[in-house]
Amino acid sequence: MMPASRRALLATAGLGLAAPALATGRPPRILMILFRGWEEACDGFRDYFAARRMPVDLVVRDVAQDLSRVPALVREARTMRPDLVYLWGTTLTMAVLGPWDAHDPDRHLSGIPAVFNIVTDPVGNRIVRSRAAPGRPVTGTEYIAPVAVQVEAIAAYRPFRRIAAPFNPLEQNSARVVEEMGQLLAARGAALQKLPVPVRADGRPDPSAIPALLREARAGGAEWLYIPPDTFLNDHRALLTQTAIAEGLPTFSASERFVAFADGLAGLVSRYTSVGAFTAFKAEQILTGGRDPGSIPVETLTRFSYQIRMETARLLGAYPPVGLLRIAEPV
């Protein structure tokens, strides 16, 4: 993990620099504000500049899932005046930028271009006005496949009538995806069993409740367990996916971490490193191309990976159809 301090990324040659950097003869400075530490999307962001031989100065800060640290970092950004701010994750991006149509310059970042990464539904969460026209000096990338496409991907593996979805009710992005999933399933005559994780007296979701929720899913007749994009569930992905195996529940994930780095069965996912590199491409357009972030559309990758963990399939006795194996990526 990269330490939470300034870290210069040096390369042997550079491309054109942003106007502030050109004026001082220094590389562009990017303040990276992270939600849960340095991970693969950050690798992709950093490595893109290295591959392009573009020197940038990365100043890294991590709120460690504590949004009470955001105001101090917004103040630091105002003092530092970086050429660009990088934001990781939906919850953090919402806290730093505020709604596009209710921005408070006293609380939220302003006057500095920003890119966001690993964000879910930036329009529904009011981070941008629209994907084509963000409506503010902000752009970025989404990372999950459209929920309707995920539903079809689940059906391609095994038909279903009922799906259960655990989620952290305190994470708005997770709750929104689960809500959309429920609407899509209802439209096709199927049902979604919503399983919000109970919140403890200290205001945090209770990981010890995960096994009971999965037993509830099995008792309710769930044929799949859907795992939405959810930082809390990611933090407890080993417990979640191993308990699902014990309960005989196949899991389908919106994020690669539950399949590639845990024991989830399957998922239609974007690779974090690829999403990070795509975000860096948008940052480059701002830093070297002089583009207004508000003119750069918010996009997802055009290709997703259908990942299947074959050992989990063996344990569950839930092998994928042969036709699906022709396009899937076994892990």
Phi, psi of 92 (to 5 degrees): -65, -45
Residue 238 lies in a domain: yes
Beta strand pairing call for 114-119 and 84-88: parallel
| pLDDT score recorded for residue 254 | 95
Please provide the DSSP assignment of 96-152 as one string. Answer: HH--TTS--TTTS--SS-EEEEEES-TTTTTSSS-SS--SSSEEEEE-SPPHHHHHH
Domain span at 128: 4-143+271-295
Same domain, 264 and 187: yes
Q: What value, to the nearest 5°, has the Cα angle with vertex 112 and ends 98 and 49? A: 110
How many angstroms separate the CA atoms of 27 and 205, rounded? Answer: 42
Same domain, 167 and 311: yes
> How many Cβ atoms are within 10 Å of 112's Cβ, its own excluded?
18
Residue 101 lies in a domain: yes
Q: What is the mean pLDDT of each run of 10 residues along the chain (331 residues)?
A: 38 34 75 97 98 97 97 97 97 97 94 96 95 97 94 97 98 94 98 98 97 98 97 97 98 96 97 96 95 96 94 97 94 93
Residue in the block written with tokens 């655990």? 166
Domains: count for the chain: 2
Same domain, 193 and 84: no
Residue 280 lies in a domain: yes
Same domain, 117 and 156: no
| pLDDT score recorded for residue 24 | 57
| pLDDT score recorded for residue 7 | 38
The tens digit of pLDDT for each residue in 133-144 reads 999 999 999 999
Residue 166 lies in a domain: yes
How many angstroms separate the CA atoms of 294 and 272, rounded? Answer: 24
Same domain, 134 and 227: no
Residue 226 lies in a domain: yes
Cβ–Cβ < 8 Å for 30, 83:
yes
| pLDDT score recorded for residue 21 | 53
| pLDDT score recorded for residue 4 | 39
Residue 300 lies in a domain: no
Residue 192 lies in a domain: yes
| pLDDT score recorded for residue 268 | 97
Residue in the block written with tokens 């769930």? 222
Residue in the block written with tokens 């573009």? 54
Same domain, 184 and 280: no
| pLDDT score recorded for residue 11 | 29
How many angstroms separate the CA atoms of 110 and 164, rounded? Answer: 40
Q: What is the pTM of this model?
A: 0.84
Same domain, 277 and 185: no
Same domain, 15 and 91: yes
Beta strand pairing call for 162-167 and 224-227: parallel
Helix (H) or strand (E) holding 159: none
Same domain, 176 and 242: yes
Helix (H) or strand (E) holding 7: strand 6-9
Residue 57 lies in a domain: yes
Same domain, 164 and 250: yes
Q: Which of 271, 270, 269, 222 is nearest to 244 (CA)?
A: 222
Residue 312 maps to which CATH number? 3.40.50.2300
Same domain, 311 and 196: yes
Using CA atoms of 135, 136, 139, 145 in order, give the dihedral in degrees to the nearest 10.
-40
Cβ–Cβ < 8 Å for 253, 269:
yes
Same domain, 162 and 48: no
